Amino acid sequence: MTGIGPTRSYGDWRQSRSIGLGGMDTRQTVMVVSSVLVPLFAFAFAGPAPGLTAAVPAAAVLLLAVTRRGGVLVLDLAIARLRWQRAHWRAETAYRGHVLTELPRAWDLPGLLAPLRLLQVDDPGRGPVGVVWNQATGRMSATVLLSPAGALLNDLSTIDAQVASWGNLLASLADDESVCHAAVTIELVPEAGTRLADHVAARVAPDAPRLAKDVLGRLVAAAPRGASRVRARLTLTVDPARGGRRPRSAADAAAEAVRALGGLSISAAGADVLRRATPADLVRIVRTAFDPAAEAAPDSAWNLDWSDSGPLTAEEHLDRYEHDGAHSVSWVLLAAPRQRVAHDVLFPLLRPGRFPRRVTIMYRTLSREEAGAVLEREANVAAAREIARRKSRRDPTAREAADRARAVRAARQEARGAGLVQFTLHVTATVTDPADLEEARSEVERAAGDSRLKLRVARGGQAAAFAAGLPVGVFPPDA
C-alpha cells in the first residue's frame, strides 16, 4: 500500500572543501604553486642548469597534484601504494594466528583489530552485553541487533516520520559528549530458495482446508527463488574519558557504553530492536565474517573465546583481502548523489545478490560548537572562492553555484538548531572462489550505480575497510 501525494526527497549533503585555486583544495594549490615557483627561482638565482634540473621533479609533483584516476588524485593513490608496499616488505600484510604465538596471547586479531578486547557487562533484567574495548584508544563499542521492518508496505507519511526520527536520533548523539561515532551495518547472506517452501511445508496442518493449502502453495511458487538472510545492527562507540567523566576501571567504561546505547530511540526509525549483542553474538559475527563456512555451525558450537573469533590466516593484497580460504573486496564512498533522492535510494545496493555483501554507513557526530564552526568555515570558503572567481572574471560553473548554495543553506539550518554529522559508506563482498571476484565486483558496482553512489576500491586499505564493517568500533578516518 502506498501513500497518496508527492514523494519527499532528501539531500543537501556536500563534501568538505578547503580554499584553493579554481577547483583545487589548499593542498593541491600549495603543490601547484610550489611546482611553478621553485624552478623559476632556481633559474633566476642559480642559472639555467639548476632550473632545468628542478623542473623535472616539479613537473612530476604538478601532475600528481592535478591528475585524477577514477575520481581519486593520483597523489593519494601513490601514497596509499607506497604505504602498503612498505608494510608488505615488513611482512605486516600477512597474519598467521595460533601457529607460532606464545601463550598468553597479547594480540589475538590481525591489523587494526589487534588492540581489541571483549568485555562483558551484566545489564540487570537484560542479561550479558558484549562491549569491545580498544586498548590503544580507550574507546568502548557496544552493539544492538536489529530487525529492519522495511518500507515497501508503508505509506509515505509513515516513511517520512521514520526518516525524521532517524535524523533526530543522529542529532541527539551530539548532546552526549562521550559519543565518538556510530555505524549501521546491513549484512546480506544468500540462501537457497527452498527455505520458504520448507518453512511453509513444516507448518501446514494435514487437515487444513484444501483452499488454504492451494493459496499457500501458489504463494510459495510465486516467491522469488533467490533468497537472502538480512541482518542489521547498530554499533555505538564512546570515549568515556570525554566530557569530564573519568571511569575508575575498564568495567565502568564499558558500562558507560551500554548506558549510551540504551538511550537511543531506534524503534521510531523503523527498526525493531532484537536485543543488545552478547559476547557470543560478537564472537560469532566476527568469526563468520572471516570464515563464511562457519555460518553452517550449530548454535552449540559457538562457545568460543574472543581469541578464537579471528582468522587462522589472513593476507592483505592491494585490491583484495584473503582470509581463511575466502576472498573479500571492499569499497569506500567516493561521492554521494549530487541530486536529491527518495527514501529508497539504497534499495538496489541492499537487494540480495549472488554473493554475501556487507554495507556499513558510518556517522561521526559533531558537537553543537564544532558543527557551527565547521559550517561557518565552509560558508566562508565558498564565499572566498566566489570572490576569487569574480576577480579572475571567470564565469561560474553550475557545480560551483550549487555547492555554494548548499554551504550557505547548511550554515543557516544549523543556526536554527539542526544537527550535523559527517558520514561515509563501506561495502564488502565476499566469495569463496577467487574466480568469482570479478563477478562480485561487477555486482556491487552495478548496484551502487543504481543507488546513485560512486564507490572506489579501497586500494592499499582492504584490511581496514573490511574491519570497518565489523561491530568492533573501527573508524578508518581515526585509525
Task: Answer whether the bond into residue 104 is a cis peptide, omega within 30°.
Answer: yes
| pLDDT tens-digit map of 426-477 | 999 999 999 999 999 999 999 999 999 999 999 989 999 999 999 999 988 7
| pLDDT tens-digit map of 28-76 | 788 888 888 888 888 888 888 888 888 888 888 888 888 888 778 888 8
Residue 190 clears pLDDT 50, i.e. is over it: yes
pLDDT of residue 327: 95
Element (H, E) at 462: helix 462-468
Neighbours of 391 (CB within 10 A): 8
| pLDDT tens-digit map of 69-101 | 877 888 888 888 899 999 889 888 888 865 555
Task: Give the pLDDT band (50/70/90) at residue 375.
Answer: confident
Interacting residues of 48 by C-beta distance below 8 A, sequence separation 6+: none
Residue whose entry in the numeric block shows the C-alpha cell 565489523: 470
Residue pair 17/403 in contact (Cβ under 8 Å)? The answer is yes
pLDDT of residue 1: 36
C-alpha cell at 29: 594549490
DSSP reduced 3-state for 24: coil
Q: Write the Ramachandran bin of 131: left for phi over 0, alpha for psi from -120 to 50, otherwise beta.
A: beta
Q: ∠ at Cα 323 (321, 324), nearest 5°?
A: 160
Mean per-residue pLDDT, 196-209: 79
pLDDT of residue 352: 83
**Burial of residue 290, with CB atoms counted within 10 A of its CB: 0-12 exposed, 13-18 middle, 19 or more buried:** buried
Q: Comparing C-alpha atoms, which of 73, 68, 80, 78 is closest to residue 317?
A: 80
Task: Give the pLDDT band (50/70/90) at residue 4.
Answer: very low
pLDDT of residue 464: 93
What does DSSP say about strands 313-316 and 357-365: parallel, antiparallel, or unpaired? unpaired
The model's pTM is 0.84
Q: Comparing C-alpha atoms, which of 441, 468, 469 is closest to residue 456?
A: 441
Question: How far apart (Å, rounded) are the C-alpha atoms in residues 317 and 85?
Answer: 10
Task: Give the pLDDT band (50/70/90) at residue 227.
Answer: low
Question: How far apart (Å, rounded) are the C-alpha atoms in residues 477 and 473?
Answer: 12
| pLDDT tens-digit map of 315-368 | 999 999 999 889 999 999 998 888 888 888 898 998 888 899 999 999 988 877
Residue pair 29/358 in contact (Cβ under 8 Å)? The answer is no
